Structure 1
């Protein structure tokens, strides 16, 4: 998914009324929704469309389960984020769905705003991961000047707007909070890495990476991912520190 294109969602729900509600709510993001009533139809739509940016599967379907459908589609599309939805509140039903590979399980009934908020967040995280992967590919061939002339911009406004429902005021407010917290997070990461505390650095980087996705901090997100992959690397720490410093530098 590119920041300038609408995301495409594969929705699978056998109940007609629920399918219509979920489709309308997802389309209002906005997004393109391919809606299926069972596993067979979902597989057909997945093969026909070529690519989806997110899967939203009912846990129980007339010809199988959401977990079975997820497993069957994973071979061709291993990185599409997947959400499950179910009417069950029981941990015995919810935990196996998470174990099967669904990022989250939405418990019905769910409101349109709650569904849309979850979809926006997951789509934004997927977009950020795609951007980070592209940055890592660039970094493989980049020279030692990466910290001061990275190819990614400091801010990806389109990604931030997509994550926050197109509300520029929300983007501005969240970025102010993000920048307020960044100095402390920057120090915590550096201290952990220098001390060899891989677990502690990982916790800080995980939190920071998620925040980067919401506010569209493209270059810092790439540096976070790089340092997560090489938590003992002085070069990766330098890249991270430079990217954070650029965001915090006076305009």
Structure 2
């Protein structure tokens, strides 16, 4: 049974990715920050590292460099809410054997891990983009509040798992909103983008299409009052329709 290290701070994404990886089956250790990961990586021999590209105290690229500096050669996979080719190429150029865009299905996640563990990383083709890869490009007002089909597809059709993941997402949503609003008031575009990046991944796993589209719009234009208004309206609609 492979042993994996998952580095992910967002509760919704972490819950989905952890459960999907454990079902391989696999033993999965979990870290939430760049600071926490090296001790876990050095203490146990892992077959693969699954590292979020954006963490609260640094980047996945920085973490991979720190782990390599410790003399550890474990193959690594990067997962990110970014879908731009340049972002994925940058992760691969930094040493990640595979770079995946979130959200993705549990089946695609497990297939990527198997490829990383069972084959030489250089020979592993990148998995196909998720079926909803263009979701956040739709105008927020035209996107459905909840996409039940996408949420079920992400968890392999298990309605109970989809409901549990949605509950976790909704429980974290007010805190995410408050953090983004506070960053907007301070004019801190970098903090806004970091929080929005994490939120977009969670939206995709639970099928929160309208909020995902609004978050993408605000990520692109963090100084726009109109984009912030659409984002807050999408959060209200998401919570009201839950």
TM-score w.r.t. the length of structure 2 is: 0.50
User: Any conservation in 1 of the 2:214–2:234 contact (CA below 8 Å)?
Assistant: yes
| 1:99 corresponds to | 93
1:90 to 50, 73, 96: 73
Per-residue CA distance 1:178-202 (angstroms, 9 max, x = gap): 1111011011111111211111111
TM-score w.r.t. the length of structure 1 is: 0.49
Count of residues in Structure 1 that have an aligned counterpart in Structure 2 = 139
Query: Structure 2 regions of 5+ residues with no counterpart?
Result: 1-71, 79-89, 101-111, 120-125
User: How many angstroms apart in 2 are the aligned matches of 1:98 and 1:250?
Assistant: 39
Q: Say if 1:171 and 1:93 are closer, same or farther in 2 by CA, change over 3 A.
A: closer
The equivalences for 1:93-242 within 5 A come to 98-99=92-93, 102-103=98-99, 106=113, 107-109=116-118, 126-133=130-137, 135=138, 139=139, 150-242=141-233
Aligned-pair Cα RMSD in Å:
3.2
User: How many angstroms apart in 2 are the aligned matches of 1:172 and 1:198?
Assistant: 33
Query: Structure 1 regions of 5+ residues with no counterpart?
Result: 1-88, 111-117, 140-145
| 1:68 corresponds to | none
- The alpha-carbon deviation at position 91 of structure 1 amounts to 6.0
- The alpha-carbon deviation at position 210 of structure 1 amounts to 0.3
Q: Which portions of structure 1, spanning 4 or more consecutive aligned residues, are displaced by more than 3 angstroms?
A: 91-97, 126-129
* Higher Cα radius of gyration: 1
Partner of 1:108, secondary structure, is: helix
Per-residue CA distance 1:87-121 (angstroms, 9 max, x = gap): xx8369989981188415743238xxxxxxx97xx
